[in-house]
Amino acid sequence: MATIFSRIAAGEIPSYKCAEDENYYAFLDINPLAKGHTLVIPKHEVNYIFDIEDEEYKGLWAFAKKVAVALKAAVPCERIGVAVIGLEVPHAHIHLVPINKESDMDFRNKKQFPADEMAAVAARVLEEFSKL
Ligand code: 5GP
């Protein structure tokens, strides 16, 4: 059965899309650490990120870099923090989080933002991504 993230990338389940190409997809985390917290996934379903074959793995990080550049342009912040956890959803993904201090990366501090704010930030990232 397809993972929830495959179904999101396929458009079967709605998401706040931030970026997409042929092989990769980026969308807002539904329980973000900060506004703009983005998940970057390969469309090809692999559970554990270090099981991805080399070319696809390199492509995933190159795509994540572009998304991070777009995210930083869209959301004022000091840095884009990066994390890979993967304990909850068995489909490899990279967390990109706009941060200003170390504690902004504390995964015990999940937040929620209104739908209109999520849609607006995703649209800003998508716009910045389209310029790259
Ligand atoms: P991890 O697998 O890295 O431990 O955590 C999975 C992340 O995916 C969590 O931060 C969680 O909020 C997010 N997440 C789980 N299910 C969904 C979903 O259906 N949609 C979105 N946008 N994010 C999700």
Q: Give the chain's domain count.
A: 1
pLDDT tens digits, residue range 64-111?
999 999 999 999 999 999 999 999 999 999 999 999 999 999 999 999
Domain that holds residue 109: 4-131
- Provide the whole-model pTM: 0.98
Average pLDDT over residues 21-38: 98
Q: Tell me the CATH number at 118.
A: 3.30.428.10
Looking from the CA of 40 toward its CB, the CA atoms found within 13 Å total 30
Q: What does residue 117 show for φ and ψ, rounded to 5 degrees?
A: -75, -40
Instruction: Tell me, yes or no, if 93 is annotated catalytic.
Output: yes
Indicate if ligand 1 lies below 6 Å from the C-beta of 83.
Answer: no
Question: Of the listed 37, 91, 93, 95, which one is catalytic?
Answer: 93
Alpha carbon of 71 to ligand 1 centroid (Å)? 18
pLDDT tens digits, residue range 121-131?
999 999 999 99
Percent of the chain topping pLDDT 70: 100
